C-alpha cells in the first residue's frame, strides 16, 4: 500500500467519524418521550391519586401489628406527581391492587375492580403498576377503559410500595388497607366476580 493510499484512507476514516459525530443520536432518545407520556395520560384519563378531602393515613405496614412504613413515596401515573403512599390511600379502608402489563389475569381483574369502585358504598380502589414503563401502563388502562387512581412502582423487580406491602412474585395481588394496616387478600387470590370483591372487602373490614 502506497503512502498516498494510506493518507487517503486515514482522511476518509476521519471524515466518516466526523459525520457520525454530527448526526442526531436518535438511539439515545428514551422510548417514552414527554410528549408520548402526556398523550397517554390524556387518553387514559385516570382519577386523581389523592382522594378528595380527609387527612392522609399512615402508609401501610406489611403485617398487622407491625410499625407503619411512613414516608413511602409514590409516582402518580395520572399526573406525574410524587405523593406519599398515605396521601394516596386516604382515610381508608382502601382496596389496593398490584398489577403488571404482562400479567394476563390482571387484564381481566382491572375492569372488574373499576366496576366495583363505581358502585354506591364501594371502598376506594387504588392500583399499583409494576415492572413496565408508565406509558405502557397508561396505554393498557386506556385500552381496558379503567380510570382508577394508579401509582407506578418502578420497572424493576423491586419498588418502595412493593417493599412496604411485601408483595408476592405472583400477580395480581390485592390488599385491604385500613387503620395503617395492610392485609393480603387470599380468598380469592384472583377476583372473578363483583360478589367476590364485595365479600373480600366486607370480610377485611
Condensed to tens digits (0 to 9), the pLDDT of residues 123-148 reads: 999 999 999 999 999 999 999 999 99
Distance (Å) of CA 190 to CA 35, 61, 171, 202:
35, 22, 9, 16
- Encode pLDDT of 151-185 as tens digits: 999 999 999 999 999 999 899 999 999 887 899 99
**Contacts (Cβ under 8 Å, ≥6 apart) of 63:** 166
pTM of the prediction?
A: 0.77
Across the range 112-128, mean pLDDT stands at 97
Domain presence at residue 180? yes
Domain presence at residue 42? yes
Domain presence at residue 19? no
What's the domain count of the chain?
1
Domain presence at residue 152? yes
Domain presence at residue 124? yes
Domain presence at residue 26? no
- What pLDDT does 3 receive? 58
User: Residue 178: phi, psi to the nearest 5?
Assistant: -155, 135
- What pLDDT does 68 receive? 44
Burial class, 132, CB count within 10 angstroms (exposed 0-12 / middle 13-18 / buried 19+)? middle
**Secondary structure of residue 30 in the 3-state scheme:** coil
Separation CA 3–CA 193 (nearest Å): 81
In the sheet where 181-184 sits, what is the strand order? 75-76, 150-152, 124-129, 94-99, 173-178, 181-184
Where in the sequence is the domain holding 114, given as residue range(s)? Answer: 36-50+67-204
What is the CATH number for 100? 3.40.30.10
The residue with greater pLDDT, 16 or 61, is 61
Query: How remote is the C-alpha of 79 from its chain's centroid?
Result: 12
Domain presence at residue 27? no
Domain presence at residue 59? no
Amino acid at each position: 500500500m502506497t503512502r498516498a493510499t494510506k493518507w487517503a484512507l486515514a482522511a476518509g476514516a476521519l471524515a466518516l467519524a466526523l459525520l457520525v459525530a454530527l448526526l442526531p443520536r436518535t438511539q439515545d432518545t428514551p422510548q417514552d418521550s414527554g410528549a408520548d407520556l402526556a398523550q397517554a395520560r390524556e387518553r387514559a384519563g385516570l382519577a386523581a391519586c389523592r382522594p378528595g378531602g380527609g387527612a392522609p393515613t399512615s402508609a401501610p405496614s406489611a403485617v398487622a401489628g407491625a410499625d407503619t412504613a411512613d414516608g413511602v413515596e409514590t409516582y402518580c401515573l395520572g399526573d406525574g406527581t410524587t405523593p406519599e403512599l398515605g396521601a394516596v390511600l386516604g382515610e381508608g379502608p382502601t382496596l389496593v391492587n398490584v398489577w403488571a402489563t404482562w400479567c394476563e389475569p390482571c387484564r381481566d381483574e382491572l375492569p372488574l375492580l373499576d366496576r366495583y369502585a363505581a358502585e354506591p358504598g364501594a371502598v376506594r380502589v387504588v392500583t399499583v403498576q409494576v415492572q413496565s414503563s408508565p406509558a405502557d401502563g397508561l396505554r393498557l388502562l386506556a385500552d381496558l377503559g379503567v380510570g382508577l387512581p394508579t401509582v407506578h412502582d418502578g420497572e424493576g423487580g423491586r419498588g418502595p410500595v412493593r417493599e412496604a406491602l411485601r408483595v408476592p412474585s405472583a400477580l395480581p395481588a390485592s390488599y385491604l388497607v385500613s387503620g395503617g394496616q395492610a392485609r393480603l387478600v387470599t380468598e380469592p387470590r384472583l377476583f372473578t366476580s363483583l360478589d367476590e370483591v364485595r365479600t373480600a372487602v366486607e370480610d377485611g373490614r
